[in-house]
Structure 1
Amino acid sequence: MRPPPAILSPGVQVLGYTVERQLGQGGFGTVYLARNAGQPFALKLLHLPRVGERAEREVSILLKLRHPNVVGLQGYGLWPPGEPRFAVIVMEYVDGRRLDVWADEENPTARQVAHGVLDVARALATTHAAGVLHRDVKEANVMVRASDGLAKLLDFGIGDYTGARGLTADILPPGTPEYRAPEAWRYFRQHARVPGARYVAGTPDDLWALGIVLYWLLTGRKPFDGASDTEFIEAVITQTPSPPCEVNERVPRALSDVCLRLLEKTPEARTPSALAVVAELEEVLRGADAAWDVPLCDAFGEDTATTESEQDSFEKWRNRPRHRPRRGMRAPLEASPLPAGATTTPETTVKPRRSLRAWAVVMTILALITVGVLLLRQEVAPTDKSPQSERAAVPSGPEATAAAVALPATLQEVAATVTTQTPETPFLPLSSKPVRKVRSVMTRAAGAAACTALMACPGSQVRPPPPPEPCPVGAVKAMTDRGIEMGDKYIAAFDFTGARIMSVSEGPAQFLLAEDVGDLPGGTAVSGRLIVRDRVYGRLTWATTKQGDSFPVCLEVYEEGGSRGRGMLREPGDDSPSSARVFTTVRVKAVREFE
């Protein structure tokens, strides 16, 4: 079961932002259009019991990135106050369409596609230079701005960076299988039964995924397919895709070659960096001629509506990969002339009868299209219980409050990606392949091997303190600017209802400052995560004042009145490795890095 997303009504206030409408929904939360001081923002609400550290990781990543082609971070906090159920990430609002929707509706030219992919390559170049991997590059995670066609990379929820802790215990990191590189699948095959084996993704994985995106934009179909998961993986590892310029003669050869270099089977042969992709695309665009300004796919017209014979339509559908797909706005169907004696009502229109055989063909095709659309709307769930091992998702946490009503969990596992809604489902070319789950026998074997390894482990062990990690970018400067002295300790508490012992779990947490700290008034919320070991460690990375001002911080949690150093003493009554009983009052220390 998936966790309940937040369902907010227009006018609801969230951390000082006024909600206007929902923009999209994914497996971990919901995105809303909201305004603050008249300016639009995108509010991403993530269900805390489900996301764990993912929200903080996404914020940490976005703090490292400042680029026109990367969606910008505006703020972060926990909501509702007092009993937070959601992490709230405030991002710049991109008024536009997802890349796949844009391509299907606009029927872009080779020049437009090259510029769009160039924008994404620039975003990846900045991302990789900051030591960050996106790990989920795909059309659904790129927005094309309506005002100028600028493409922006978004959703770093399963991204990774140097020094970050692993999010899952699976052999492959979170991601969408259809975009995984051959080296990832090769590693999976070779280590599926090796306990503790972990594939470490690198920049070549992001570049491969960019190649998959470019191939689809140019041809309207994905470069690899298979009747089963095993066949699909085998195709990715061994088959050389047909050059885009041969699949679609409107694709310039120079752009086709850029795409194929991104889809080389080994990282060594692949385009070496996102910066090199930028240079290649800029070079081919300088030599572009008038052929680059022809729409890549056929447009819909009057001749594509209902003029083909029943047999011709079926044969063209069955052999669709041989034909260039159609994109763009579909021409409206004109009303059929009424036969003699036919009448109309406000509800229905009587149309000429068709043969039963023709009706059966139409219904079959419509059913297949519906199934395809439904499959395309599902995305792989990069959750802590990964689809690689087909382990069932645990039930979600408590229902949302009245301000955030729980929605019934009716869908299968879906992605961490929060997808953008469109008024209507866009037309999807029949040659586009559905996103596959890739849950094979090898996958289940890997899960079984991991379970075997876990059961073979000895009993309760003392878990070491968490390893050092850097502060969020800009945290030290933000604290210094507000008069917070490095090394000073300040009193804070989980809440102000009175000192007591309470239960806490590993994951996101929030404290309230019990005193004025520099320029910060008492009551300022500082949020981050708890790490349960022999003691409970707290690393706080974001502050939000009562006035809504928010900024990064670097505060280490210490026991109130204790002398044992970092972390809170575990009180008797809970020996769980992921939860503990602690005292509600603590001290927080301003640091330059987490020890």
Structure 2
Amino acid sequence: MRPPPAILVPGAEVLGYTVERQLGQGGFGTVYLARNAGKPFALKLLHLPRVGERVEREVSILLKLRHPHVVGLQGYGLWPPGEPRFAVIVMEYVDGRRLDVWAHEENPSARQVTRVLLDVARALAATHAAGVLHRDVKEANLMVRASDGLAKLVDFGIGDYTGARDLTADILPPGTPEYRAPEAWRYFRQHARVLGARYVAGVADDLWALGLVFYWLLTGRKPFDGEDDPSFIEAVLTQTPASPHDANARVPLALSDICMRLLEKTPEARTPSAFAVVSALEEATRDSDAAWDVPLCDAFGEDTATTEGEQDSFEKWRNRPRHRPRRGVRAPLSRAEAPTVQGTTVKPRRSLQGWGVLVTVLALVAVGVLLRHGTARFPGMVAHRQEVAPTDKSPQSGRAAAPSRTEATAVAVAVPATIQEVAATVTTQTPETPSLPLSPKPARKVRSVMTRAAGMATCTALLGCPGPQVRPLPPPEPCPVGAVKAMKARKIDIGERHEAVFVFSRPHIISVHEGPTQLILVGPWEDLPSNTELSGRLIVRDRVYGRLTWATTPKGDSFPVCLDVLAEEGDRGMAREPGDDSPTSARIFTLARVKAVGEFE
């Protein structure tokens, strides 16, 4: 049986807990928000055939840790009770945002960053004092609570503790490659051909990863990069990054020095303990001034935008330290401005006078003529635009959509990376891909455009409807860690496009909601096989935007991706079909394309 993502639906009962929604998904399991006696909990389901003894390892670790900045264990069990296929770890629910999301949306100041880092350092100090290593310290495993800004360390799924038995035979322990310390890569290079060689992670490995997180919070970028894995590893081993203060003048020198000590190349030169990090941060805050309360990065806005073409390449290079990264939510445009959607300026509505009404009526007549001719030219058009899925749909469609009243609704699944370990995969038998009856694209486009034109013209000319309500575009955000490399490893280059569907059946209209979603790849895409499930989330605006961040092949291999969802016509985002003008839901066509991107614009 395939491990989650989509095994639990809202309302499902698991060991007395009622599932509300999915919170995250990784290589071994899925985390859900659930309630018991009205209280929220985080349910982590781990597929027993895949995790083996990891469940007992994680539970043992959480039992050792009781700290306000470490996620708390609430219970543990197996499910279903008769023939258990999943281990269930019940944890404290942290109502907040992942650290990377928090930083992008809040654009924190040096004081705010220090407060969060103090929480994390205290959590690591308590963890190490209990003889436990986290081994996967990164932004995705740190949560900032919404109520009070308190930070918590989560996900000890690949943690280790003194006296624990080894669970893998690899030369390097499980972990996220981008956060491995130089000594781990050095050992790997020296012992790659030595049979039975095993690198043993220590406290210094967690501290190195903490330094990487700290650097990114201060500067908005990672300290090391490379075109491929060997060049990245070489950079970690040999290059000294610019200090956070040199990369961003708003970073206080005291914080810059603390960060750079965490990024020393050898454990001996590195800050010796998380307790020492706590002491250094507390000392630095005692000498802080008003400059610590200025946001570290430039906010999005016209006043801080850099105009292309203002400087030649040399000047841009010479002044590069002055161009800070941008963070924060884009400010919505005022109604007085002329907002743009997909590059098209939406002008303020003008009142209709005299000949304008006549022109509109003539346009309506022309639309009617075109619709009649369009139907005659494309006889299959009406059948392909059905709004209810046919009864003989493929078994695949059950994985991609669930019925809701008289329409198919895209299932909400798969927010990425709760447990990000590129390890073993599960092989399952996948039904042969059904033939997909693609609708004639000219018919769909003509009908859709003309229908919307007729509706808008009627509203404007005869009913005096209000002007268009333009919702702001979704803010930009970075790709998941490792997504671009994972796509490149499968020969998918940035900018390439491929077909995907929300539902495997005859093309029709479905209702979707803002939040988690899933598409299915139609046909192979380079080294990515057909039927690969692409998971991420939808953002409902004047169009429906999709950002896909996780892929699962038919054999169960999972990895991060960075894909934008496009309409059939190639426009970014899906056109909203008439019938639902809600700010959180919309009606869209089931056919789409996905585009590999280096970041979400």
- TM class, shorter-chain normalised? 0.5 to 0.7
Checking the alignment, whether the CA contact within 8 Å between 1:101 and 1:426 is kept in structure 2 is: no
Checking the alignment, whether the CA contact within 8 Å between 2:182 and 2:265 is kept in structure 1 is: yes
- Which runs of 5 or more residues in structure 1 are unaligned? 346-375, 386-392, 400-423, 442-595
Checking the alignment, whether the CA contact within 8 Å between 1:108 and 1:295 is kept in structure 2 is: yes
* Equivalent residue number for residue 129 of structure 2: 129
Residue of structure 1 aligned with 2:427, choices 376, 395, 406: 395
The CA deviation at 1:302 is 3.8
Checking the alignment, whether the CA contact within 8 Å between 1:107 and 1:297 is kept in structure 2 is: yes
* Greater relative contact order structure (CA < 8 Å, 6+ sep): 1
Name the Cα RMSD after superposition.
3.5
Q: State the one-letter code of the partner of 2:20.
A: E
The CA deviation at 1:337 is 5.2
Q: State the one-letter code of the partner of 2:18.
A: T
The CA deviation at 1:3 is 3.6
* Equivalent residue number for residue 233 of structure 1: 233
Residue of structure 2 aligned with 1:338, choices 340, 344, 347: 347
Per-residue deviation, residues 285-323 of structure 1 (Å, max 9, x unmatched)? 111111100000001124468xx766569989x979752
* Equivalent residue number for residue 88 of structure 2: 88
SS of the equivalent of 2:259 reads helix
Checking the alignment, whether the CA contact within 8 Å between 1:380 and 1:437 is kept in structure 2 is: no
SS of the equivalent of 1:268 reads coil
* Equivalent residue number for residue 32 of structure 1: 32
SS of the equivalent of 1:46 reads strand
* Equivalent residue number for residue 196 of structure 2: 196
Mapped pair 1:7 → 2:46: no
C-alpha distance in structure 1 between counterparts of 2:174 and 2:482, whole Å? 19
Checking the alignment, whether the CA contact within 8 Å between 1:229 and 1:439 is kept in structure 2 is: no
Checking the alignment, whether the CA contact within 8 Å between 2:330 and 2:475 is kept in structure 1 is: no
Q: TM-score, normalised by structure 1?
A: 0.58
For residues 469-484 of structure 1, the aligned pairs below 5 Å read none
For residues 291-302 of structure 1, the aligned pairs below 5 Å read 291-302=291-302
For residues 286-365 of structure 1, the aligned pairs below 5 Å read 286-303=286-303, 311=309, 322=321, 323-333=323-333, 334=337, 335=339, 336=345, 338=347
* Equivalent residue number for residue 476 of structure 2: 427
C-alpha distance in structure 1 between counterparts of 2:347 and 2:285, whole Å? 53
C-alpha distance in structure 2 between counterparts of 1:34 and 1:157, whole Å? 20
**Alpha carbons of structure 1 residues 118 and 436: separation in structure 2 relative to 1, 3 Å:** farther
* Equivalent residue number for residue 553 of structure 1: none
* Larger deviation, residues 219-228 vs 1-10: 1-10
The CA deviation at 1:7 is 2.7
For residues 536-551 of structure 1, the aligned pairs below 5 Å read none
SS of the equivalent of 1:170 reads coil
**Alpha carbons of structure 1 residues 192 and 379: separation in structure 2 relative to 1, 3 Å:** farther
Checking the alignment, whether the CA contact within 8 Å between 1:176 and 1:379 is kept in structure 2 is: no
- Which runs of 5 or more residues in structure 2 are unaligned? 340-344, 351-355, 364-414, 432-472, 490-601
C-alpha distance in structure 1 between counterparts of 2:222 and 2:170, whole Å? 26
Checking the alignment, whether the CA contact within 8 Å between 2:120 and 2:151 is kept in structure 1 is: yes
Q: State the one-letter code of the partner of 1:268.
A: E
Per-residue deviation, residues 18-70 of structure 1 (Å, max 9, x unmatched)? 11121122222211111111111111111111111112211110000000000
SS of the equivalent of 2:231 reads helix
* Equivalent residue number for residue 564 of structure 1: none
Per-residue deviation, residues 90-145 of structure 1 (Å, max 9, x unmatched)? 00111000000000000000010011011010000010011100000000000000
**Alpha carbons of structure 1 residues 425 and 17: separation in structure 2 relative to 1, 3 Å:** farther
Per-residue deviation, residues 447-471 of structure 1 (Å, max 9, x unmatched)? xxxxxxxxxxxxxxxxxxxxxxxxx
**Alpha carbons of structure 1 residues 380 and 15: separation in structure 2 relative to 1, 3 Å:** closer
SS of the equivalent of 2:477 reads coil
* Equivalent residue number for residue 159 of structure 2: 159
How many positions carry a matched residue from both structures?
376
* Equivalent residue number for residue 185 of structure 1: 185
**Alpha carbons of structure 1 residues 397 and 269: separation in structure 2 relative to 1, 3 Å:** farther
The CA deviation at 1:229 is 1.1
**Alpha carbons of structure 1 residues 304 and 278: separation in structure 2 relative to 1, 3 Å:** closer
C-alpha distance in structure 1 between counterparts of 2:87 and 2:75, whole Å? 11
Q: TM-score, normalised by structure 2?
A: 0.58
The CA deviation at 1:434 is 5.0
C-alpha distance in structure 2 between counterparts of 1:267 and 1:8, whole Å? 44
Q: State the one-letter code of the partner of 1:338.
A: K
Checking the alignment, whether the CA contact within 8 Å between 2:104 and 2:477 is kept in structure 1 is: yes
Checking the alignment, whether the CA contact within 8 Å between 1:77 and 1:89 is kept in structure 2 is: yes
C-alpha distance in structure 2 between counterparts of 1:273 and 1:107, whole Å? 28
Checking the alignment, whether the CA contact within 8 Å between 2:19 and 2:32 is kept in structure 1 is: yes
C-alpha distance in structure 2 between counterparts of 1:330 and 1:202, whole Å? 41
SS of the equivalent of 1:24 reads strand
* Equivalent residue number for residue 283 of structure 1: 283
Q: State the one-letter code of the partner of 1:105.
A: E
